[in-house]
Amino acid sequence: MRDRFFLETSVALQFIETSKLPTPWGVFDIHGFEDAETGKEHIVLTLGDVTDGLPVLARIHSECLTGDALFSMRCDCGSQLQAALQRISEEGRGALFYLRQEGRGIGLINKIRAYKLQDEGADTVEANERLGFGADMRDYSLLKVMCEHLNITQVKLMTNNPRKIAAMESQGVEVVERLPLQTGQNPHNAKYLATKSGKLGHLF
């Protein structure tokens, strides 16, 4: 299957509006984008001036309601989100791309179905495949519109996932440095993290 981040960028993704977003890590600018074809809304949080052409501390974060909002310990998503915002705050400048791609692109209800299969012994990749999905269904092509709107051409990317590096570079954004983001390990996600490393190539 062709990697989804090499799909052509959807011309349907449009910038909508920017406003202030106070958070525990500082007052960010929140930039809203909408994909008219799918109806999905995506955002970028920025801190400081990211439009000056210099490398931007950045994180690509796919939506994980269970981890980001419900504090699930089955994954490391929520802790990674908070750690990324903390690092951007400390840097005083950066961007967090928050993409509405729950469950590596399969959606929330299908993720719950996948969790049930994991409860019965499957790993995260096997569960997705048993439901008829690829191991990772996320589409990163919309990053191009977001980066062009914010004039981001170079990033220092906080990630353990080499696919995200390839995704950024395929959209014309240079990744000048990869910064590991390893946090949130616990007994409940040990198998999940081992599978991400062994089957998905994540760098731990």
Is 4 one of the catalytic residues? no
Is 130 one of the catalytic residues? no
Block residue for tokens 């191991």: 135
Task: State how far the Cα of 138 lies from the Cα of 161, in Å rounded to an integer.
Answer: 13
Question: Residue 82, class by beta-carbon neighbours within 10 Å (0-12 exposed, 13-18 middle, 19+ buried)?
Answer: middle
Cβ–Cβ under 8 Å, residues 154 and 56: yes
Q: Please report, for residues 5, 29, 50, 100, 130, the alpha-carbon distance to residue 105 in angstroms, rounded to integers and kept in the order given.
A: 12, 26, 28, 8, 15
Task: State how far the Cα of 55 lies from the Cα of 50, in Å rounded to an integer.
Answer: 8
Catalytic residue among 136, 139, 163, 178: 136
Cβ–Cβ under 8 Å, residues 200 and 193: no
Catalytic residue among 59, 74, 104, 138: 138
Task: State how far the Cα of 34 lies from the Cα of 36, in Å rounded to an integer.
Answer: 6
Task: State how far the Cα of 116 lies from the Cα of 114, in Å rounded to an integer.
Answer: 5
The set of catalytic residues is: 136, 138
